[in-house]
Amino acid sequence: MKKLFTIFAVIALTAGSIGLSSARQSQSSKAQAESVAGVFDYYLLALSWSPTFCLTHKDDVQCSGKGYGFVLHGLWPQYAAGGWPQSCPPLTRLSAAETSKGLTLFPTKKLLDHEWAKHGTCSGLGAMGYLDEADKAVAAVKIPDELQPFSTSYYFEAQEIAQLFRKANPGIPADGVAVICSGPELSEVRVCMGKDLQFAPCGKGVKTQCRAGDIRVPPSR
């Protein structure tokens, strides 16, 4: 009886493991199937504070003394209910003309290629159309004077940074901007925009991710 019980237990555990694995594969397949170009609700414009990136990527081309402040990290299609599509078929490489255009927006080709493959393909606009939208989105957001590149560290609370962006861009709603930190430093500011690139509330899951109190905004390199 003990042997039979052990056998049944092993079979049950194996079946459960297979079932869990199948469920995970099903969820992954579902997520992949849901990533359809052009099927999304709004954009998230991610502006990276370059000096913080350069603290840990000193040899990156972006960090070669160009004095960047905020740079374009990406324009990301999002779902209002949370999450986002990614790597939408058909996956295509950027042409020489598209790369040339992209390098007027993104600080490096590596970042450009990554953002196009993961996020741009889901815009449903084609590469040049996506890059044009990214150009317009960046132009629509005014960087606060207090957060222009500077030569010494500044300290703000995350909510103060969000307020500075809303003050400089009166159309941004209270829930339309999120501040992201990397440890004690400012990493990104993310602004939510409709498909028409008008400022809009953020969807589920987009929120400020910083510790309480002052955070450091490192100087430009």
Digit-coded pLDDT (tens) for 141-170: 999 999 998 899 999 999 999 999 999 999
Alpha helices in 68-176 (DSSP H): 96-102, 109-118, 126-140, 158-168
Is residue 198 domain-resident? yes
Is residue 151 domain-resident? yes
Range of the domain at 114: 35-217
Is residue 25 domain-resident? no
What is the CB neighbour count within 10 angstroms for residue 120? 29
Is residue 20 domain-resident? no
Digit-coded pLDDT (tens) for 61-80: 999 888 999 999 999 999 99
Is residue 19 domain-resident? no
Q: Out of 57, 114, 119, 160, which one is annotated catalytic?
A: 119
Residue 69 is encoded by which pair of tokens?
């402040």
57 an active-site residue?
A: no
Q: Out of 98, 115, 133, 188, which one is annotated catalytic?
A: 115
Is residue 1 domain-resident? no
Q: Out of 34, 57, 73, 160, which one is annotated catalytic?
A: 73
CATH of residue 124's domain is 3.90.730.10
Is residue 120 domain-resident? yes
Is residue 3 domain-resident? no
If one counts the domains in the chain, the total is 1
* Residue 214 near residue 157, CB atoms below 8 Å: yes
pTM of the model: 0.84
